Chain A
């Protein structure tokens, strides 16, 4: 069974030979290959080389492009800066008016975004269908938040409902256009990143009224393109899970604060689950034995419909032995 087959079967709750393993290797992969994180976010050749090196080193079932939440805002016109070795960050946000000037579906495909699309294309050329190739993209809320700034987004949620609704619609269209480009480049999966949709920021009422229908539009579009859709939410989103389960994603990628068996009870078979080894302590600082135990404890009750992953992108300093152990433990 290939990695891609394993992932495809897992999201359909079908039997697999072993639990698929798909850590978000991005930043760690760049460091492992001795290539700068900033360079990998600016050069498709560098990013593909780093990710292929990680595929060779760890043989995961899926490989994902780097997590760079500044790429879409930069394409939309936000100012971005990065220091050597560090990922780019947004340093100048846009106004609502900036985002109302032209068609975002075209604008989002400019600037550094083609680096990620080209990376997908290179990965597909090198790996074919042996490994699931996933493109990480900002979801509509997160793209909006990183474009206008999270404080302005939060104020708009209360003071300018019409404005935020319009922006989210435009960013949803942009998001759909972006995943189409990734599908054309050869992606098997798209990971829709919504770290801003954590419960503290977006309460259940806002999630249901504002984000859920737009996430459904994105996952529906992904299905039409034949993509596996994975919705990733960071932090503690336990209270939002009943709604996230309705987003229509093949899989929900959850962070370590969420207990996976409770998540399974809430989500049922509406979405497979992916996650959620702790990336703040266990993976970067724990011992391989601890990683092995955590993997065993996590996998045992999950049965079908589960993909083992990190709760979020692996920190670059994560020891190679811990990543190797994570993958080996899932296959024992």
Chain B
């Protein structure tokens, strides 16, 4: 027993709040879970009621009537005050918010009674975890350990409320640089993969790495302390890195070096280039073209291209047949149409589309491959995520940290759209996908223009839970993220917060003491709100079992970009260990980079048994260059003279 409930006329107990006092030296603090015992003391006779609460505020005061009396007693000398023969009586007085009352009905004020530190079982009862922890089909996923006064009790989230269908999504806020947001998500993913109930099917995660090397080493073990390992054991989560991690990154503008920080020779083999062509991009033209570009006429023409031209055999009306699959094919189509219109002297319209609209769309579309060079190819095969073949408990990291914002938008929009399409059709390979997006302040701000990415995030937030498409979002300032994105997150997690942020209206429900605790939260501690918890709960989570980005960069520093020939050779060697770099270099000598890139992409896509032979075939035979014919000079009619005129 650590305290006793007290209620006065000025501060009475209510059904949702009570007050109690403890000894001056006590183990509890803000966030501690306590149980009010039944049947002891006056006022609770016959109530048979057990109340669980979480400490939200604490007060200490003495019987000093006014500070002036302390001054008088010490004769103005603070040293004398400290030397007084008797220490004043003082109190530790706590306010607790009710988590749960048993029985729940009728809801009554908290009775007077003894206060106890909550045990493991109490914590489960208080947080209503008993319903999903001990049910026939448990859906509990550990998020951390509640620790107070030497007690350490696991805290579980309900998978039905984290990944749907009851509620879904998780939002995590916190200041940058305190190893909380990303670490918490990494730990939670590990926990989820271990505890995701079998009856709910398969689950995977798609993580967008949007800054630095944060998520680049999820398959590498990190340094864990004994304390961390003990916590993993307590939570029954393996303290090992993720077993199935697949990395995807666009290429750099040279088309052969990967645009990621995971380029260390020991790791780069696991990174799959992400390259898309016209077919992949045209559906998301809206992402890449701004509002001024896409008027109704341009939109109609793009639809026409999408529906009638792309991937089909198409007659341009001037006697040319086109099979448009790449940007290069599209360019040929436009050229033939414009030439045809010009030579035939027909009007300025082609199939009801005005030539000016067509020229505008042509410029904008063909410009995409330039603006997103490395991600979008003009020509050749593409490389993509394994849509339809997602593996259970696998993490798919898409590294767009070094991609320009436009490319990031395109990657995000297309990946999420594809996830949604496949989940709707139930042919993704897994039943639920967690999409982790950091920097929601950038991608889903509360104000600013309505971007395609923001619309996508809103769509996931509002409808994703029915599909199994779950958003784990992170940001620094929750108040500046779109209300519907954070509002739809069933689980809210808070790391250390900035005081200015805590002063915003969204945090008014928190007590001043809770805010102070949030503003000074140590690394590895979180405040969690979950539909089953009636009050926020503080938990500790162990350091993630993976190599942190910064540490990873020290252990596996990124390789410098290779010269074109070496980069091509390395990629072919990765695909087929029998290939010798010199063979490749000889093969591509004197060949245009465009041709080499196209051939390499074809090999990557086909993954033939004999990579070098296939590469050679794709390159085709060398075409001898004709020597320029000598031009015979024609003498001028009038020889040049010295005459100036």
Asked if chains A and B come from one complex, the reply is no
Residues on B facing A (Cβ under 8 Å)? none
